[in-house]
Amino acid sequence: MTNIGEKVVCLVAYHIFFMLFVWSYWKTIFTLPMNPSKEFHLSYSDKESLEREPRGESQQEVLRRAAKDLPIYTRTMSGAIRYCDRCQLVKPDRCHHCSVCDKCILKMDHHCPWVNNCVGFSNYKFFLLFLAYSLLYCIFIAATDLQYFIKFWTNGLPDTQAKFHIMFLFFAAAMFSVSLSSLFGYHCWLVSKNKSTLEVFRAPIFRHRTDKNGFSLGFSKNLRQVFGDEKKYWLLPVFSSLGDGCSFPTCLVNQDPEQASTPGGLNSTSKNENHLFPAKPLRDSQSHLLTDTQSWSEISAKPEKGKVGMSNPALTMENET
Ligand SMILES: [Zn+2]
Ligand SMILES: [Zn+2]
């Protein structure tokens, strides 16, 4: 490069991409995964009665009692309350036990060996930005190196050791760009659908049915759940996700007949399913996520005894990784 202006632009751009890449990578690695709050842990007496109860049905009864006031909608495949016997807690929706961390992780996406950390509610935004900035960084390097790479093959470079660095640098940057772009594209799709990697492999099971899009609220709201309401924080690796990680609004929460307006981005199929959900307290985090669609509310119907959810009383422990 001979032009001084070109040099300055390249150096500034390089350091911006590099800084954002390192910052988001650092945050993804060192942000501790969030675990379920105290209220999801069984009380001492519940733990005792769970150990005492010999049968699955009685154990389920203990768990149903413990989960009575918790904002949970998802169940195991057999319709039982999701319970982690290692952490001894009722699993919040979208929470899974990581066998590597040996803990229950809120909104667990996957355990990532590249960052040696669980990717979940606390660092999912950082992980996305890490993918985005590492991709930009690699594309920038490949693009600025391209002209010298071409010169390498046309013998236009001085005959020194450095010319091999140019070739290897281009190959490394181009290869990482290809793999990162597919991973980043995949996670963009997940965000737009409000799914986690685990939920793609096993769709969340709600009280009466499985719904792979059960947590999707429409593109804009799905995006805001991860990146937050304030656009100025979207591109920075600072925590701005909405909610508390323990409870999530779902499109399957029924519509309040008192309200006339229909919220956008919600499944029309979710209407007429009022009977499916028991009364559960709507948390502040959920209320916040639904503030601009006041037409959603919880129902007061009690779960009917003897229906699905009780039909298979076995206490199901999920084997999740
Ligand atoms: Zn656990
Ligand atoms: Zn983990």
- What is the enclosing helix (H) or strand (E) of 119? strand 117-119
pLDDT over 90 percentage in the chain? 57
* Cα angle for residues 248, 62, 37 (degrees, 5° grid): 35
Distance 119 CA to ligand 2 centre (A): 7
Rounded Cα distance between 257 and 37, Å, is: 33
Q: What DSSP state is assigned to residue 83?
A: E
Distance in Å, CA 86 to ligand 1 centroid: 5
Ligand in nearest proximity to the CA of 33: 2
Higher pLDDT, 120 or 52: 120
**Strand, helix or coil for residue 267:** coil
Res. 253 pLDDT band, cuts 50 70 90: low
Q: How many angstroms is it from 95 CA to the middle of ligand 1?
A: 9
272: phi > 0 → left, psi -120 to 50 → alpha, else beta; which? Answer: left
Taking residues 169-195, what's their average pLDDT?
Answer: 96
| Centroid of ligand 1 to alpha carbon of 94 (angstroms) | 12
Least confident of 10-24, 77-91, 274-288, 291-305: 291-305
CB atoms under 10 Å from CB of 182, counted, come to 10
| Cα(126) to centroid(ligand 2), Å | 16
Radius of gyration (C-alpha) of the chain in whole angstroms: 24
Ligand positioned closest to the Cα atom of 318: 1
User: What SS3 class is residue 221?
Assistant: helix
Closest CA to 208 of 144, 278, 139: 278
| pLDDT tens digit sequence for 109-151 | 999 998 999 999 999 999 999 999 999 999 999 999 999 899 8
**Paired strand residues for 103:** 98
CA of 96 to the centre of ligand 2 (A): 10
Closest ligand relative to 103 C-alpha: 1
C-alpha to C-alpha distance for 119 and 185, rounded to whole angstroms = 17
Question: Which one of the ligands is nearest to 83 CA?
Answer: 1
Average pLDDT, the chain: 81
Query: Beta strand pairing status for 103-105 and 89-90?
Result: unpaired
265 Rama sector, left if φ>0, alpha if ψ -120 to 50, beta otherwise: left
Amino acid 153: pLDDT: 86
Give the integer Cα–Cα distance in Å for 215 and 97. Answer: 20
- Residues with Cβ within 8 Å of residue 47, at least 6 apart in sequence: 88
Q: Is 214 helix (H, G, I), strand (E, B) or coil?
A: coil
For 189, counting Cβ atoms within 10 Å of its Cβ (0-12 exposed, 13-18 middle, 19+ buried), the class is exposed
Catalytic residues: 112
Listed residue (91, 116, 2, 155) closest to 317, CA to CA: 91
Distance 103 CA to ligand 1 centre (A): 5
pTM for the structure as a whole = 0.78
DSSP character string of 9-28: HHHHHHHHHHHHHHHHHHHH
pLDDT tens per residue across span 20-38: 999 999 999 999 999 999 9
87 CA to centre of ligand 1 in angstroms: 4
Considering every ligand atom shown, identify the ligand nearest to the alpha carbon of residue 99 and give its number. 2
Interval between CA 127 and ligand 2 midpoint (Å):
14
